[in-house]
Chains A and B, each alone.
Chain A
Amino acid sequence: MSDLADLTISAAGVGLRSGEFSATDLLEAVHKRATMTEADLHAYLTIDRVGAAKAAVAAESAFRRGEDHGPLQGIPIALKDNMVTRAIETTASSKILAGWVPPYDATVVSRLKQAGSVIIGKTNLDEFAMGSSTENSAYGLTRNPWNPDTVPGGSSGGSAAAVAVGSALGSLGSDTGGSIRQPASFCGVVGVKPTYGLVSRYGLIAFASSLDQIGPFTRTVGDAALLLQAIAGHDPMDSTSYQGAIPDATSGLDAGVQGLRIGLITEMMGGEGYDPEVIAATRATVSKLENAGATVTEISMPSVDYALSAYYLIAPAECSANLARFDGVRYGLRVGGSTTEEMMANTRGEGFGPEVKRRILLGTYALSAGYYDAYYAQAQRVRTLVINDFNRAYETVDVLISPTAPTTAFKVGEKASDPLAMYLSDICTIPSNLSGHPGMSVPVGLDAAGLPIGVQILAPALGEPVMFRVAAEIERQAAFADRAVLATSAVPR
């Protein structure tokens, strides 16, 4: 084995069980990779060397005792820094939470610990997950390992970059409008937004509660299924958590696509803002699926052209309510004032960054008296139209396919001063957040500039098995996983 940091989760699991290497060896390889890459990439905000070393030793003794808690035992995993971790600083990349040490673990964190994973640390994000490039972090931007002049996407840019470069074997992100899938696409890794409610949001610092969902980043489709199964499941601490049986994402990975019906979303296959190379790669992917036995049809979903507009009313409205909790009273920053109200306004003025303020202001405006019906209520009706369009599509097809993002990774700074241009990079991912349906991005190739292209697979609610089945076939046809490992070694170290 050349370098343990380049292993997939499933391959590492084999090595750990055969005794070829230990959990500590694996962690040390990942730490070494982080040491070589962090100065250039800045994927991490915090690396918990002490806690991770202890967890690796614990995994080793479990293996020695013959205890096996499943495929994640001894596997180093990174967490987006908007998931709270007991005794590890959690900031959501905001100054308002600088130095905050949470008194509890998010449910996903408890589940990973129970599964024997080794938590490496906390990854960088756009402040409070608001952004599409990880440039909105109060602690400095993250760069794309394929080309450090470009962004890794966002908001889960740190989690995507860490997996792409091998400073984590897998990671968790959160997806409110595309914040897992778009960075997965930009960084050439697999990223999954599960069905809303499948993964508990307890301990996820809330942005827009009716849209937020936690999901995995990995280098392969099979690894993503393993990680998803470990974190999915009912949680009484999240009232929106799904109570039924959890679909098995691993069930159809080898089944192929013979007889499956695939729909290509017409509205996402070109037009203003779409890179022709991305469209061509998406079409080529679909042709390969057709050759593999699937039937393909184009499906028009007129409402998706309005999804972005609806999203930029709904998400800010929910964020303006959720972020009211950052008031300088119970945790985080406090900036003084002569009255409580003045203290709160000063704290929030000083503690929040420009994009977070922009969205709170947008949401406050959209919800304020006189505008509520014209904006927020109308956006909620458009949300119904989007759901209706999806439901109609899924009457005739098993999955839908589109590009994950209209372009490959853009340059650092390119969209920083134009919020609307930045928002448009989520145009393909937002509709399924509004509908609550699952979606994932799989890398299929590189553009002329050598940057990864991702294809998005969407499925009906709880349709993870068929979504992963198609994703696994796309991965086999594209044979991209091998090249991603080669390309990471080209990163300046």
Chain B
Amino acid sequence: MPEDESVSVPVDIDIARVARLARISLTGTELGIYEAQLPVIIDHAARVQALDTAGIEPTSHPLPLANVFRTDSVGDCLDRDEVLSQAPETQDHQFVVPRIMDEA
């Protein structure tokens, strides 16, 4: 492994904020664990910054694919009742969720 101590910048991650963005509720204990662990992992990952990538195009996918089309034709679908049978709560063939907007 090359030594890249110079590029390890100490990172201070606001785990509570990231968890809110990710829609994951964390306990106080979990917050503490991730506050300790994530900076270590990010520090290692930040080694990518040591490489000279001027003029290098990013790769998002191993295959040079763009806009794969198919004919827009009617085909078989999943069975509605079978799909809905797996949902936590349904009503009138629809998924039920708690209220989304405040009743202001």
Residues of chain A touching chain B, judged by Cβ–Cβ distance below 8 Å, are 100-104, 196-197, 210, 236, 239-240, 242, 271-272, 303, 305-306, 308-310, 312-313, 320, 324, 327-334, 336-346, 348-350, 352, 354, 357-358, 360-362, 364-366, 368, 374-375, 377-385, 387, 419-420, 423, 434-437, 461
Q: Is the CB of A330 within 8 A of B95?
A: yes
> Least Cβ distance of A181 to chain B in Å?
17
Q: Is the CB of B60 within 8 A of A210?
A: yes
The interface bits of chain B over 46-58 (1 if a CB of A lies within 8 angstroms of the residue's CB, else 0) are 1111110100111
Considering the complex, which residues of chain B in the window 11-55 have a beta carbon less than 8 Å from any beta carbon of chain A? 13, 15, 18-27, 30, 33-34, 37-38, 40-42, 44-51, 53
Chain A residue contacts of B93, Cβ below 8 A: none
User: What secondary structure prevails in chain B residues at the interface with A?
Assistant: loop
Chain A residue contacts of B95, Cβ below 8 A: 329-330
Cross-chain contact of B24 among A240, A339, A357, A419 (Cβ < 8 A): A357
The reply on B63 being an interface residue by CB < 8 A is yes
Bound Cα distance A306, B46 (Å): 10
Q: Is the CB of B79 within 8 A of A103?
A: yes
> Least Cβ distance of B81 to chain A in Å?
9
Q: Is the CB of B63 within 8 A of A365?
A: no
Q: Is the CB of A334 within 8 A of B1?
A: no
Chain B residue contacts of A358, Cβ below 8 A: 34, 37-38, 41
Q: A341-B23, A349-B26 are in contact. Are A240 and B65 (CB under 8 A)?
A: yes
Bound Cα distance A210, B59 (Å): 10
The reply on B89 being an interface residue by CB < 8 A is yes
Bound Cα distance A368, B17 (Å): 11
Bound Cα distance A384, B46 (Å): 17
> Least Cβ distance of A329 to chain B in Å?
5
Chain B residue contacts of A101, Cβ below 8 A: 86
Q: How large is the interface on B (under 10, 10 to 19, 20 to 34, 35 or more residues)?
A: 35 or more
Q: A339-B99, A419-B41 are in contact. Are A436 and B63 (CB under 8 A)?
A: yes
User: What secondary structure prevails in chain A residues at the interface with B?
Assistant: helix
Known: A210-B62, A240-B61. 7 other contacts (CB 8 A): A312-B45, A330-B83, A348-B22, A379-B48, A380-B59, A420-B41, A436-B62
Q: Is the CB of A365 within 8 A of B38?
A: yes
Cross-chain contact of B23 among A327, A365, A368 (Cβ < 8 A): A327
Closest to A323 in B: B22
Q: A334-B89, A349-B26 are in contact. Are A340 and B99 (CB under 8 A)?
A: yes
Q: Is the CB of B1 within 8 A of A305?
A: yes
6 tightest Cβ-Cβ pairs between the two chains A and B: A436-B62, A380-B58, A349-B25, A334-B88, A381-B53, A345-B25
Q: Is the CB of A348 within 8 A of B24?
A: yes
The reply on B10 being an interface residue by CB < 8 A is no
Q: Is the CB of A368 within 8 A of B18?
A: yes
Bound Cα distance A329, B48 (Å): 38
Closest to A333 in B: B88
Q: Is the CB of B48 within 8 A of A103?
A: no
Bound Cα distance A357, B19 (Å): 9
Chain A residue contacts of B58, Cβ below 8 A: 377, 380-381, 383-384
Chain A residue contacts of B34, Cβ below 8 A: 357-358, 361
Q: A309-B45, A362-B38 are in contact. Are A383 and B59 (CB under 8 A)?
A: yes
Closest to A374 in B: B49
- Can you give 23 A-B contacts (C-beta < 8 A)? A101-B86, A197-B62, A239-B68, A240-B68, A271-B1, A309-B47, A320-B22, A324-B23, A333-B88, A340-B97, A354-B33, A357-B30, A358-B34, A360-B22, A361-B38, A368-B21, A374-B46, A379-B48, A381-B51, A381-B58, A384-B56, A387-B59, A420-B40
Cross-chain contact of A336 among B18, B60, B98 (Cβ < 8 A): B98
Q: A242-B63, A334-B89 are in contact. Are A360 and B24 (CB under 8 A)?
A: yes
The reply on B78 being an interface residue by CB < 8 A is yes
Bound Cα distance A310, B89 (Å): 40
The reply on B87 being an interface residue by CB < 8 A is yes
Q: A103-B83, A305-B1, A329-B95 are in contact. Are A365 and B68 (CB under 8 A)?
A: no
The reply on B92 being an interface residue by CB < 8 A is no
Chain B residue contacts of A423, Cβ below 8 A: 41
Cross-chain contact of B51 among A236, A303, A343, A368 (Cβ < 8 A): A303
Closest to A335 in B: B25
Considering the complex, which residues of chain B in the window 67-104 have a beta carbon less than 8 Å from any beta carbon of chain A? 68, 70, 78-79, 82-83, 86-89, 95, 97-100
Bound Cα distance A334, B83 (Å): 16
Closest to B100 in A: A340
Chain A residue contacts of B99, Cβ below 8 A: 339-340
Closest to B95 in A: A329
Q: Is the CB of A345 within 8 A of B24?
A: yes
> Least Cβ distance of B19 to chain A in Å?
6
